[in-house]
Protein backbone atom coordinates (compact mmCIF):
# COMPACT_ATOMS: atom_id res chain seq x y z
CA UNK A 1 0.00 0.00 0.00
CA UNK A 2 2.86 2.39 0.85
CA UNK A 3 4.63 1.61 -2.42
CA UNK A 4 1.47 2.37 -4.37
CA UNK A 5 1.01 5.68 -2.53
CA UNK A 6 4.61 6.66 -3.19
CA UNK A 7 4.19 5.80 -6.88
CA UNK A 8 1.09 7.95 -7.20
CA UNK A 9 2.78 10.81 -5.36
CA UNK A 10 5.84 10.49 -7.58
CA UNK A 11 3.76 10.65 -10.78
CA UNK A 12 1.85 13.68 -9.49
CA UNK A 13 5.10 15.44 -8.61
CA UNK A 14 6.56 14.61 -12.03
CA UNK A 15 3.47 15.95 -13.76
CA UNK A 16 3.63 19.16 -11.78
CA UNK A 17 7.31 19.57 -12.62
CA UNK A 18 6.61 18.97 -16.30
CA UNK A 19 3.80 21.52 -16.34
CA UNK A 20 6.02 24.09 -14.62
CA UNK A 21 8.82 23.47 -17.08
CA UNK A 22 6.49 23.81 -20.06
CA UNK A 23 5.11 27.06 -18.62
CA UNK A 24 8.59 28.55 -18.22
CA UNK A 25 9.67 27.39 -21.68
CA UNK A 26 6.51 28.78 -23.25
CA UNK A 27 7.01 32.11 -21.50
CA UNK A 28 10.57 32.34 -22.79
CA UNK A 29 9.54 31.35 -26.30
CA UNK A 30 6.57 33.68 -26.64
CA UNK A 31 7.70 36.49 -24.36
CA UNK A 32 7.49 39.88 -25.98
CA UNK A 33 7.60 43.52 -24.97
CA UNK A 34 5.87 46.46 -26.57
CA UNK A 35 8.18 47.83 -29.28
CA UNK A 36 9.48 51.37 -28.94
CA UNK A 37 7.51 52.31 -32.07
CA UNK A 38 4.61 50.04 -33.13
CA UNK A 39 4.77 48.76 -36.68
CA UNK A 40 1.16 49.81 -37.20
CA UNK A 41 -1.36 51.95 -35.38
CA UNK A 42 -3.40 50.31 -32.64
CA UNK A 43 -6.60 52.13 -31.80
CA UNK A 44 -6.67 53.37 -28.22
CA UNK A 45 -2.95 52.78 -27.61
CA UNK A 46 -0.61 55.73 -27.24
CA UNK A 47 2.96 55.70 -28.46
CA UNK A 48 5.50 55.06 -25.74
CA UNK A 49 6.96 58.22 -24.31
CA UNK A 50 4.36 60.38 -26.04
CA UNK A 51 2.06 60.58 -23.06
CA UNK A 52 -0.77 61.41 -25.46
CA UNK A 53 -0.03 65.10 -25.00
CA UNK A 54 -1.15 67.31 -27.83
CA UNK A 55 1.04 70.07 -29.15
CA UNK A 56 1.05 73.05 -26.86
CA UNK A 57 -1.46 75.74 -27.82
CA UNK A 58 -0.18 79.34 -27.44
CA UNK A 59 -2.25 80.83 -24.62
CA UNK A 60 -2.36 84.22 -26.37
CA UNK A 61 -4.39 82.67 -29.19
CA UNK A 62 -7.07 81.58 -26.68
CA UNK A 63 -7.24 84.52 -24.29
CA UNK A 64 -8.98 86.84 -26.75
CA UNK A 65 -12.02 84.57 -26.83
CA UNK A 66 -11.76 83.28 -23.24
CA UNK A 67 -14.86 83.37 -21.04
CA UNK A 68 -14.32 84.64 -17.46
CA UNK A 69 -17.68 83.22 -16.39
CA UNK A 70 -16.49 79.74 -17.34
CA UNK A 71 -13.22 80.54 -15.59
CA UNK A 72 -15.17 81.22 -12.39
CA UNK A 73 -16.58 77.70 -12.63
CA UNK A 74 -13.11 76.24 -13.14
CA UNK A 75 -11.85 78.26 -10.16
CA UNK A 76 -14.12 76.23 -7.90
CA UNK A 77 -11.42 73.56 -8.06
CA UNK A 78 -9.07 76.08 -6.41
CA UNK A 79 -11.48 77.46 -3.81
CA UNK A 80 -10.58 74.82 -1.22
CA UNK A 81 -7.12 76.42 -0.86
CA UNK A 82 -7.47 79.98 -2.21
CA UNK A 83 -9.66 83.02 -1.71
CA UNK A 84 -9.85 85.59 -4.49
CA UNK A 85 -11.84 88.49 -3.03
CA UNK A 86 -10.10 91.77 -2.26
CA UNK A 87 -8.65 91.62 1.24
CA UNK A 88 -9.42 87.91 1.52
CA UNK A 89 -7.47 85.83 4.00
CA UNK A 90 -4.68 83.48 3.06
CA UNK A 91 -5.48 79.83 3.55
CA UNK A 92 -3.57 76.74 2.52
CA UNK A 93 -2.65 78.89 -0.47
CA UNK A 94 -2.40 82.67 -0.79
CA UNK A 95 -5.26 85.01 -1.57
CA UNK A 96 -5.24 85.51 -5.35
CA UNK A 97 -6.79 88.98 -5.71
CA UNK A 98 -4.70 91.11 -8.06
CA UNK A 99 -2.18 88.34 -8.72
CA UNK A 100 -1.48 88.93 -12.42
CA UNK A 101 1.23 91.54 -12.77
CA UNK A 102 2.57 90.98 -9.25
CA UNK A 103 6.03 89.57 -8.45
CA UNK A 104 6.11 85.77 -8.31
CA UNK A 105 6.40 84.29 -4.83
CA UNK A 106 6.26 87.59 -2.97
CA UNK A 107 3.77 89.70 -1.06
CA UNK A 108 0.30 88.32 -0.35
CA UNK A 109 0.28 89.43 3.26
CA UNK A 110 3.46 87.59 4.16
CA UNK A 111 2.32 84.20 2.86
CA UNK A 112 5.11 81.61 3.24
CA UNK A 113 5.95 80.83 -0.38
CA UNK A 114 8.32 77.98 -1.15
CA UNK A 115 11.91 78.77 -2.06
CA UNK A 116 11.28 77.01 -5.39
CA UNK A 117 8.59 79.53 -6.36
CA UNK A 118 10.53 82.50 -5.00
CA UNK A 119 13.50 81.54 -7.18
CA UNK A 120 11.48 81.77 -10.43
CA UNK A 121 11.66 85.58 -10.45
CA UNK A 122 9.79 88.06 -12.60
CA UNK A 123 6.10 88.91 -12.49
CA UNK A 124 3.02 86.83 -13.14
CA UNK A 125 2.07 87.33 -16.79
CA UNK A 126 -0.25 85.29 -18.99
CA UNK A 127 2.46 82.93 -20.23
CA UNK A 128 3.87 82.23 -16.75
CA UNK A 129 0.41 81.74 -15.27
CA UNK A 130 -0.43 79.34 -18.09
CA UNK A 131 2.74 77.33 -17.41
CA UNK A 132 2.00 77.32 -13.66
CA UNK A 133 -1.59 76.12 -14.18
CA UNK A 134 -0.42 73.45 -16.63
CA UNK A 135 1.98 71.90 -14.12
CA UNK A 136 3.01 73.68 -10.92
CA UNK A 137 5.78 71.17 -10.27
CA UNK A 138 7.34 71.66 -13.68
CA UNK A 139 7.09 75.43 -13.38
CA UNK A 140 8.71 75.49 -9.94
CA UNK A 141 10.31 72.16 -9.05
CA UNK A 142 9.94 71.79 -5.30
CA UNK A 143 6.80 73.90 -4.91
CA UNK A 144 4.56 73.14 -1.95
CA UNK A 145 1.48 73.26 -4.17
CA UNK A 146 0.18 69.71 -4.67
CA UNK A 147 -2.36 70.51 -7.41
CA UNK A 148 -1.56 68.39 -10.49
CA UNK A 149 -2.52 71.09 -13.00
CA UNK A 150 -5.15 71.75 -15.68
CA UNK A 151 -4.62 69.75 -18.87
CA UNK A 152 -7.28 71.58 -20.91
CA UNK A 153 -5.90 74.73 -22.58
CA UNK A 154 -9.35 76.35 -22.85
CA UNK A 155 -9.94 75.85 -19.12
CA UNK A 156 -6.61 77.55 -18.42
CA UNK A 157 -7.47 80.46 -20.71
CA UNK A 158 -10.86 80.89 -19.06
CA UNK A 159 -9.48 80.83 -15.53
CA UNK A 160 -6.69 83.27 -16.45
CA UNK A 161 -9.30 85.65 -17.87
CA UNK A 162 -11.25 85.29 -14.62
CA UNK A 163 -8.17 85.86 -12.46
CA UNK A 164 -7.36 88.91 -14.54
CA UNK A 165 -10.77 90.41 -13.73
CA UNK A 166 -10.12 90.05 -10.01
CA UNK A 167 -8.01 93.14 -9.36
CA UNK A 168 -5.44 92.83 -12.18
CA UNK A 169 -7.07 93.91 -15.46
CA UNK A 170 -4.03 93.48 -17.69
CA UNK A 171 -4.89 94.05 -21.37
CA UNK A 172 -5.89 90.75 -22.95
CA UNK A 173 -4.92 89.88 -26.55
CA UNK A 174 -7.58 90.83 -29.08
CA UNK A 175 -9.97 88.12 -30.18
CA UNK A 176 -9.39 86.90 -33.75
CA UNK A 177 -11.69 88.65 -36.24
CA UNK A 178 -14.65 86.55 -37.32
CA UNK A 179 -14.24 85.22 -40.84
CA UNK A 180 -10.69 86.51 -41.15
CA UNK A 181 -9.01 85.16 -44.26
CA UNK A 182 -6.12 82.79 -43.77
CA UNK A 183 -2.72 84.29 -44.63
CA UNK A 184 -1.68 83.69 -48.22
CA UNK A 185 1.64 82.14 -49.13
CA UNK A 186 3.70 85.00 -50.73
CA UNK A 187 4.94 82.66 -53.46
CA UNK A 188 1.39 81.74 -54.40
CA UNK A 189 0.36 85.40 -54.32
CA UNK A 190 3.22 86.35 -56.66
CA UNK A 191 2.30 83.64 -59.14
CA UNK A 192 -1.33 84.71 -59.02
CA UNK A 193 -0.47 88.36 -59.67
CA UNK A 194 1.83 87.42 -62.55
CA UNK A 195 -0.93 85.28 -64.06
CA UNK A 196 -3.38 88.15 -63.76
CA UNK A 197 -0.92 90.45 -65.56
CA UNK A 198 -0.40 87.99 -68.40
CA UNK A 199 -4.14 87.48 -68.80
CA UNK A 200 -4.82 91.24 -68.95
CA UNK A 201 -2.08 91.85 -71.53
CA UNK A 202 -3.29 88.96 -73.64
CA UNK A 203 -6.82 90.37 -73.68
CA UNK A 204 -5.62 93.86 -74.61
CA UNK A 205 -2.90 93.15 -77.14
CA UNK A 206 -3.19 89.51 -78.08
CA UNK A 207 0.36 88.92 -76.82
CA UNK A 208 1.23 87.46 -73.39
CA UNK A 209 3.32 89.85 -71.26
CA UNK A 210 5.61 87.00 -70.23
CA UNK A 211 7.01 86.76 -73.75
CA UNK A 212 5.25 83.51 -74.66
CA UNK A 213 5.02 83.00 -78.47
CA UNK A 214 1.91 84.47 -80.02
CA UNK A 215 -0.47 82.32 -82.11
CA UNK A 216 -0.82 83.12 -85.80
CA UNK A 217 -4.45 84.00 -86.67
CA UNK A 218 -4.41 81.64 -89.63
CA UNK A 219 -3.25 78.84 -87.37
CA UNK A 220 -6.10 79.63 -84.99
CA UNK A 221 -8.55 79.40 -87.89
CA UNK A 222 -7.10 76.07 -88.96
CA UNK A 223 -7.53 74.72 -85.46
CA UNK A 224 -11.16 75.80 -85.33
CA UNK A 225 -10.57 78.63 -82.92
CA UNK A 226 -13.01 80.86 -84.79
CA UNK A 227 -10.59 83.68 -85.72
CA UNK A 228 -11.40 85.26 -89.10
CA UNK A 229 -8.32 86.32 -91.16
CA UNK A 230 -8.25 89.87 -92.62
CA UNK A 231 -9.95 90.32 -96.01
CA UNK A 232 -7.72 90.22 -99.09
CA UNK A 233 -7.01 93.59 -100.72
Domain of residue 109, CATH code: 1.10.760.10
Looking at residue 14, what is its pLDDT?
74
Domain that holds residue 66: 60-165
Looking at residue 168, what is its pLDDT?
95
User: How far from 86 is each of 95, 96, 97, 203, CA to CA, in Å?
Assistant: 8, 9, 6, 72
Looking at residue 2, what is its pLDDT?
64
State how many domains the chain has.
1
Residue 185: Cβ within 10 Å count: 10
Whether pLDDT at 10 is above 80? no
Between CA 108 and CA 107, with CA 163 as vertex, the angle to 5 degrees is 10
Task: Express each pLDDT in 55-74 by its tens digit.
Answer: 577 899 999 999 999 999 99
Q: Which of 122-131, 162-171, 203-212 has the lowest mean pLDDT?
A: 203-212
Residue 122 maps to a domain? yes
Whether pLDDT at 101 is above 70? yes
Residue 93 maps to a domain? yes
Residue 26 maps to a domain? no
The average pLDDT across 88-105 equals 95
If pLDDT is split at 50, 70 and 90, which confidence band does 1 have? Answer: low
Looking at residue 23, what is its pLDDT?
67
Amino acid sequence: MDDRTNTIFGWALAAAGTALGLSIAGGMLFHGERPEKPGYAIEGVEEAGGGGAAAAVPIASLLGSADPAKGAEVFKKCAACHTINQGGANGIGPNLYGTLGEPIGQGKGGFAFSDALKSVGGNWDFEKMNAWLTSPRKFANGTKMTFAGLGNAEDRANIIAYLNQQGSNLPLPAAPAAGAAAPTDPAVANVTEATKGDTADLANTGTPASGAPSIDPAAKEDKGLGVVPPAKQ
